[in-house]
Structure 1
Amino acid sequence: MKQLLYIAPVIIDFEKLNGVSKKILNQYKVFSKSYNVTLLSYGPDCLYYLNNDFFETIPLNQANRRLKMYSFINEKLSVNNYNFIYSRYHLCDLLFVNTLRILGRKAIKMVVEIPTYPYKKELLKSHNGFVRYFMDSSSNFLLRFFVGRIVTYSQDDKIYGIKAINTMNGIIYENVIPVQKKQFSSKEIHLISVSMTVICHGYDRLIEGINSYYKLGGDVNIIYHLVGEGEEIKKYKDLVLKYGIEKHVLFYGFKTSDDLDVLYEKADIAINSLAIHRIGLQTESTIKSKEYAAKGLPMVSSYTVDAFSSQDNSKYVYQISADETPVNINELIEFYKKMYENADHNITEEIRLASEKRCDMSVTLNGIIEYFNTAV
């Protein structure tokens, strides 16, 4: 079986797996059906080195996590023969380029995945980000000498002069239990979002919309289950307290497994990102939208959801404007009615089946595997 080295500079906490960590482990699992895969990633305070049943933790010994990874690759892994290298992008610098150069001596093909592109606007929001962007932009032109393809969730044909493989984030559908068929209620609607919160998620737009709805005399009980932690949570909690809508917005922190499934069972509609325009994006391929679709939930989003075809987007997604206006709860209620009122079919099953054929991970990784398997 051919050898694949997967370099994933992402912290994987097995006690508290988030969406990105699950994605890395799922990619490892799917790639392992075709190749003998070695995965190198970060632990909370170490490096993780996985290959089949072999699992090793490599202590950092007070070293910088990223420098430790480069050092381990250059000193320990560069002596091995790999047919293919797959690396998740964590910005470029000369150390990264040199690591690819060293590995390139032993590998036939090398692919780099850029999870979010473009990323300039998001990086330049901080001084540290400016420094990182300068280092990246000063060296990423060198990638073309070692990298055969860039994997992107954007529509770009080339990035840094390298041909792109266009795909989307995927999940393993058999790992996700769909919710039970929903019953229509004219009095109560349950919403859910599940993610580590960052500015582009824009859940404040929904909170503002809920506040406006009740200020104008709204009488449907809207309950928003906000699951997750992250940098935006304090802002969201402050807004909820300011508006006095604590009974309509419930915070749960991080949840997983059975606890999360219980919350999903309550939900009628899922909330995708509502503000990617804040970081200069017009499209995005979120992991959470795939999980929502696999659960069988319709969505609210500020952009077209790639889990669905354009035709299915018009059926299963309430797409709001890509700006700062609050979510219109009256329109959301009408969307809910369209989904569930007088439905003589199972919307949950429809949504899951419509999305599975597009974004099960066996489908989303197919273009990468085809590239690896094509003769040089």
Structure 2
Amino acid sequence: MNILYSAFIREDSEAKGFLKKVISQCNVFKREFANVYLYISRKDEAVLYKVEKNGLQEIDTFKYNKLSVFDEESRIRKIKGFLRYNSFLEYLNEIIHLYNIDVLYLRNSPSTRKLMNILDNKKLVKILEYPTYPFEEEYKQTRSKIELFIFGNNKRKKIENLADLVVAVSAEKNLNVDEKFILINNGIQLEGLNIKKQNKKNYLNLLSIANVAFWHGYDRIIKGLHEYYKTNPEKEVFYHCVGEGAELTNLKKLTKELNLEKYVIFHGTKTGEDLDKVVDECDIALGSLGFHRSGLTGGSPLKAREYCARGIPFVIAYDDWDFPETFPFVYRIPKDDSPVDINQVIKWYENLIKEHPNYSIEMRKYAEENLSWDAKMKPVIEKIKELAKEKERKSTT
């Protein structure tokens, strides 16, 4: 079978985590299907890749029309985004026919009439993926009024009805969903994630790696350091913030206001060996500390899974079913806006390294057994194959 993974995300955007997840899923599909294609967006064009064992091979590009070219300075940027999305869907329909696509996997595709026309294709196995589910609160928090009007929920039920399968990445196991839903959690691609080197020193380094948004809640760690240093502590604690993002300016401003420039270091974007070096020097990582700001109590962020694969203990403020309460390498703090209690984090970490001196190796082993995309996508692939056989049976009767 030929499978096409379509994701209307910017390949050249700063949010590299989304693209990494999509490519990881495509690599899993490649082990199961004859031909796998990836269709995504760029600044002024859409691009089609063929997924090969040695990486992505670009095979075609599709220019957006002039009206839909992204313009950072435009007051109607969101409307232009909608026009770009319409162009993206037009080319998607061409690709389906040109490359004899059997299975269409759509990641977080806004509901429009064009999309419904594509999903009306009875020969295709059609899968929708919701990267966060339930999505309503986060959707309201992260979308403009224009986007809510254009991409609103009024057509989502129609889209779901036209799909053969809905894959929902959810923090909750027992949601009451339609029978065509499969609930999964985020996974990771372990290749390329090097295990952290453990080192002992008389100070602590905290670490976050993210395209920083309001729901990461990293202001809580900065405020926590402010409270911590008021007490003139013996142990120094530093916070290393890696990445860019919309919330970075606010974090820098808060750091300056609280006179913490010595203890809060902003590294910007780091990748490859440069990122590995920062991780090696850090002791504790920070997952999302502000999920509640999106109206959510739980989730399955990729970064927490990557921390686990790298073997660095981490702090979170949400529920995550991949890491049970008995999992010793995660420290949970309250799901609110209170400053992080640095003393309690230190106490937890010092106890952890006494009880688990080889914690990095233990965490990596857990990731290999529980967090890979192969494990997460297995029920999805089984269902796709089942649906394909059913469509083939119907077409011959």
Work out whether 1:46 is the aligned partner of 2:45. yes
Letter in 2 for 1:311: T
Letter in 2 for 1:43: R
- Compared with structure 1, are the counterparts of its residues 137 and 285 closer, same or farther at alpha carbon in structure 2 (3 Å cutoff)? same
Match among 183, 188, 213 for residue 166 of structure 1: 183
TM-score (norm 1): 0.91
- Aligned partner of 1:178 in structure 2 is 195
- Compared with structure 1, are the counterparts of its residues 158 and 112 closer, same or farther at alpha carbon in structure 2 (3 Å cutoff)? farther
Provide the C-alpha distance between the structure 2 equivalents of 1:93 and 1:125, rounded to a whole number of angstroms: 21
- Aligned partner of 1:332 in structure 2 is 345
SS at match of 1:365: helix
Match among 359, 374, 391 for residue 362 of structure 1: 374
- Compared with structure 1, are the counterparts of its residues 133 and 327 closer, same or farther at alpha carbon in structure 2 (3 Å cutoff)? farther
- Aligned partner of 2:288 in structure 1 is 273
Shift in Å, 1:144: 3.4
Work out whether 1:58 is the aligned partner of 2:62. yes
Letter in 1 for 2:84: R
User: Where in structure 2 are there 5+ consecutive unaligned residues?
Assistant: 69-82, 391-397
Deviation per CA, 1:22-71: give whole Å up to 9, x if none. Answer: 11112111211111111111123321101244532222242343122111
Provide the C-alpha distance between the structure 1 equivalents of 2:96 and 2:134, rounded to a whole number of angstroms: 31
Deviation per CA, 1:254-294: give whole Å up to 9, x if none. Answer: 11111111111111111000011111111111111111111
SS at match of 1:116: strand
- Compared with structure 1, are the counterparts of its residues 290 and 144 closer, same or farther at alpha carbon in structure 2 (3 Å cutoff)? same
SS at match of 1:82: coil
Give the number of equivalent residue pairs: 365
Letter in 2 for 1:268: D
Letter in 2 for 1:225: H
Give yes or no for contact 1:3–1:83 (8 Å, CA) kept in 2. Answer: yes
CA RMSD of aligned residues (A): 2.1
Shift in Å, 1:208: 0.5
- Between stretches 127-136 and 166-175, larger displacement belongs to 127-136
- Between stretches 225-234 and 71-80, larger displacement belongs to 71-80
Letter in 2 for 1:175: G
Query: Segments of 4+ in structure 1 off by > 6 A?
Result: none
Provide the C-alpha distance between the structure 2 equivalents of 1:84 and 1:168, rounded to a whole number of angstroms: 22
User: Where in structure 1 are there 5+ consecutive unaligned residues?
Assistant: none
Provide the C-alpha distance between the structure 2 equivalents of 1:18 and 1:237, rounded to a whole number of angstroms: 22
Provide the C-alpha distance between the structure 1 equivalents of 2:233 and 2:213, rounded to a whole number of angstroms: 29
Shift in Å, 1:175: 2.2
Give yes or no for contact 1:123–1:133 (8 Å, CA) kept in 2. Answer: no
Shift in Å, 1:351: 0.9
Provide the C-alpha distance between the structure 2 equivalents of 1:291 and 1:222, rounded to a whole number of angstroms: 23
- Compared with structure 1, are the counterparts of its residues 344 and 205 closer, same or farther at alpha carbon in structure 2 (3 Å cutoff)? closer
- Aligned partner of 1:300 in structure 2 is 315
User: Percent of aligned positions with the same letter in both sequences?
Assistant: 29
Provide the C-alpha distance between the structure 2 equivalents of 1:133 and 1:201, rounded to a whole number of angstroms: 26
